[in-house]
Amino acid sequence: MKIGILGGGQLGRMMFQETIGLDLDLSFLDTSRSFPVGKIAHSFTEGDFTNYDDVIAFAKDMDVISIEIEKVNLKALYDLETQGKKIHPKPSSLEIIQDKGLQKEFYRKHSIPSSDFKLYNSKEEILKAIENEQVNYPFVQKTRKDGYDGKGVAIVHSETNLNKLLDGPCLIEPLVPIFKELAVIACRNERGECITYEVVEMVFDQEANLVKYLFSPAEILESTSETCRNIAESLIELFDICGLLAVEFFMDKKGEILVNEVAPRPHNSGHHTIDAAVCSQFENHIRAISNLPLGGTSQYKIGAMINILGEEGFTGQKKYMGLEDVLKLEDVHVHLYGKKITKPKRKMGHINVLGDSKEEIEDKINTIDKFFKVIA
Ligand code: ADP
């Protein structure tokens, strides 16, 4: 079976790395072989996954097509599906997920708990709605398409923040009083077997107001964990997805759960599974789209993941600082993506940290934070 993946970034690289032992035939499409997968995969096509002709040409010899990024040419996927090619996730589900407005309508239609929302086409429309008291502060504005890592999200507390408003088609939802941000990764194969991983919790650096690390299993009630895993399982079935579906949740102080958004591919909240779980999210994605039995999701230990971002103030040929200090730590696993050039906040890798207690994990994370830097 020939498996074609649209995208050649770090997620593709880890799909390849995690399935070498299965001796599968994986090919990747992205614009440059210098990208993270290009260095390790033997079959890499240089081309643009947002371009119709490039996707069609790449898919010609493939038995199944999947993605490691959502922003791919949808029309090509629809046409390939019509021609009888296997496309995972299905183009009709991907179309909904690519658009946060359609996603929210999908949750409403299927009674999946998610915050209330309204769609708008422009900044002017929102300003008018505020004038007419149809929108109340504080609120969150999200562009419908192409947002990532918080880009395309504006949090508006009052009139003084209105300069943050983004233009173009978007949605507005109330600001949720978030107590914890959680995520669950579900996986489903063509036979309909479905599994979910342990719930992951984002730990914030209160001072910097940034995610410090991700941690699993989340420190929540067993019943909350069950709710999240059940919602993730319902969603992967409702979307009829084969492969992975990552579901992000907000939990308020009362323990109420709201779905924020989903991603039909490997996700940041599952990187720890490479070292902490029986079978990683990457291997399970490839198993699922190849219709193989799925691997176990239970964890050997508490697992945490810290993103390694390019240090502020450095742009150019990357250099790793403090790697030796990190490698001396027990049950700490370094995953660098092989990107040549570092830039401030660019995702250069991640480090998985395993431990028996949160304190042990925090100690190791603090050491990593202190010593490990990607500079130029
Ligand atoms: P992206 O797709 O860029 O990751 P998200 O929808 O996940 O965008 O939003 C980014 C972050 O903004 C969230 O992780 C959360 O911290 C905050 N956020 C988003 N929506 C809301 C909301 N309705 N209420 C409060 N905070 C929100």
- Cα(273)–Cα(363) distance, rounded to whole angstroms? 20
- Report the separation in Å between the CA atom of 238 and the middle of ligand 1, taken as the mean of its atom positions: 23
pLDDT score recorded for residue 208: 72
Parallel, antiparallel, or unpaired: how do β-strands 180-188 and 194-196 relate? antiparallel
Does the beta carbon of 273 sit less than 6 angstroms from any atom of ligand 1?
A: no
> What 8-state DSSP symbol labels residue 3?
E
pLDDT score recorded for residue 210: 77
Question: Domains in the chain and their CATH numbers?
Answer: 2-87 (3.40.50.20), 116-174 (3.30.1490.20), 178-375 (3.30.470.20)
Label residue 238 exposed, middle or buried (CB < 10 Å: 0-12, 13-18, 19+).
middle
Does the beta carbon of 140 sit less than 6 angstroms from any atom of ligand 1?
A: yes
- Whole-prediction pTM value? 0.97
Identify the residue whose C-alpha is closest to ligand 1 atom 11.
150
Structure tokens at 283: 């291997």
Does the beta carbon of 149 sit less than 6 angstroms from any atom of ligand 1?
A: yes
Does the beta carbon of 141 sit less than 6 angstroms from any atom of ligand 1?
A: no
SS3 content of the chain, % helix, strand, coil (to 5): 30, 30, 40
Backbone angles phi, psi at 68, to 5 degrees: -125, 5
pLDDT score recorded for residue 267: 97
Of residues 149, 132, 126, the one with CA closest to residue 140: 126
Which residue, chain included where needed, has tokens 């496309």?
A: 87
Does the beta carbon of 166 sit less than 6 angstroms from any atom of ligand 1?
A: no
Beta carbons within 10 angstroms of residue 333's beta carbon? 18
pLDDT score recorded for residue 147: 85
Helices (H) and strands (E) in the chain, counts: 11, 22
Cα angle for residues 337, 341, 343 (degrees, 5° grid): 100
pLDDT in tens, the chain (376 residues): 999 999 999 999 999 999 999 999 999 999 999 999 999 999 999 999 999 999 999 999 999 999 999 999 999 999 999 999 999 999 999 999 999 999 999 999 999 999 999 999 999 999 999 999 999 999 999 999 988 888 899 999 999 989 999 999 999 999 999 999 999 999 999 999 999 999 999 998 877 777 899 999 999 999 999 999 999 999 999 999 999 999 999 999 899 999 999 999 999 999 999 999 999 999 999 999 999 999 999 999 999 999 999 999 999 999 999 999 999 999 999 999 999 999 999 999 999 999 999 999 999 999 999 999 999 9
Of residues 183, 202, 180, the one with CA closest to residue 251: 180
Beta carbons within 10 angstroms of residue 258's beta carbon? 19
Beta carbons within 10 angstroms of residue 282's beta carbon? 24
Q: Which amino acid is at 200?
A: V
Does the beta carbon of 127 sit less than 6 angstroms from any atom of ligand 1?
A: no
pLDDT score recorded for residue 211: 87
- Atom index in ligand 1 nearest the CA of residue 178 equals 25
Does the beta carbon of 211 sit less than 6 angstroms from any atom of ligand 1?
A: no
Contacts of 195 (CB under 8 A, 6+ apart): 186, 187, 188, 284, 294, 296, 297
